[in-house]
Amino acid sequence: MSPCSCPLPDFSQSQSNLTGGDIPLVITMSFLEPLAVILAIAYLLLAAREHIACWYCAFVSSAIYTMIFQDVSLLMESVLNVFYVVMAVIGWYEWRYGGKSHDGVKIRTLAPGVHGLILAVLIIAALVNGWLLTRYTGAAWPYLDAFTTWASVITTFLVVWKVLENWLYWLVIDGLSIYLYIDRGLVLTAALFAAYLVIVVFGYLHWRRIYREQDANTNDSPDHER
């Protein structure tokens, strides 16, 4: 889950309306984006370390980004962050109490065929959603916005269930998001997603090592031999 220069002069939609009553909002949003960036980085670093505290950071950061993206007309991104707020609660529960033994879900993988089905559903959803955004809203970059949104929705479920390949999905999503945010004037957020690319690689390697250790321990256990 995927961070302010945006509310300053970069808010081209709002500049003509910067009356005295609007200035406090601009200042507040300028303060909030750096805070959201810090929390978002903390979320990803903690998630890469498989630390449950990542979900606390995700909850607050996503709540802030809901407001920021609405202000710059990235409508699907704003809706996505409402979803992230809810998923932060679900993710915390699954990592704490999920799994067969109710002591938290373990890292696992999905078969290639399952990933193929996920990609097919993602492409169809992005095309339909992008068409609707083009026809009925003033959303910027509707198809790209829709693709990154639906990909993030699906990949967040993979994080909640600790599917190893979630990190590979984030590599694609974050790379595309950098272009989207630069175009909208969210320079700090684009920088955040560039940092994400590095952290994502670390997260994948770390989770893969843990998964292999889990698999080795399972194969060596007496219960497995029986």
DSSP string, 70-131: HHTT-HHHHHHHHHHHHHHHHHHHHHHH-STTSS----B---HHHHHHHHHHHHHHHHHHHH
Task: Look at residue 192 and tell me whether its pLDDT is greater than 90.
Answer: no
Give the model's pLDDT for residue 10: 44
Give per-residue pLDDT as tens, 20-67. 455 555 556 677 888 998 998 899 999 999 999 999 999 999 999 998
d(CA 216, CA 226): 16
pLDDT > 70 fraction of the chain, expressed in percent and rounded: 84
Task: Look at residue 142 and tell me whether its pLDDT is greater than 80.
Answer: yes
Domains in the chain: boundaries: 15-225
Give the model's pLDDT for residue 17: 45
CB 34 within 8 A of CB 189: no
In whole angstroms, what separates CA 58 from the centre of its chain? 9
Give the model's pLDDT for residue 164: 97
Give the model's pLDDT for residue 27: 53
What pLDDT band is residue 215 in, cutting at 50, 70 and 90?
Answer: confident
d(CA 96, CA 171): 26
Give the model's pLDDT for residue 3: 38
The reported pTM is 0.78
Top pLDDT among 218 and 24 is at: 218
- CA 53-57-63 angle, to 5 degrees, is 145
What pLDDT band is residue 193 in, cutting at 50, 70 and 90?
Answer: confident
Residue appearing with tokens 């970059």: 141
What pLDDT band is residue 141 in, cutting at 50, 70 and 90?
Answer: confident
pLDDT-wise least confident of 14-28, 106-120, 171-185:
14-28
Give per-residue pLDDT as tens, 91-104. 999 999 998 888 89
Top pLDDT among 11 and 137 is at: 137
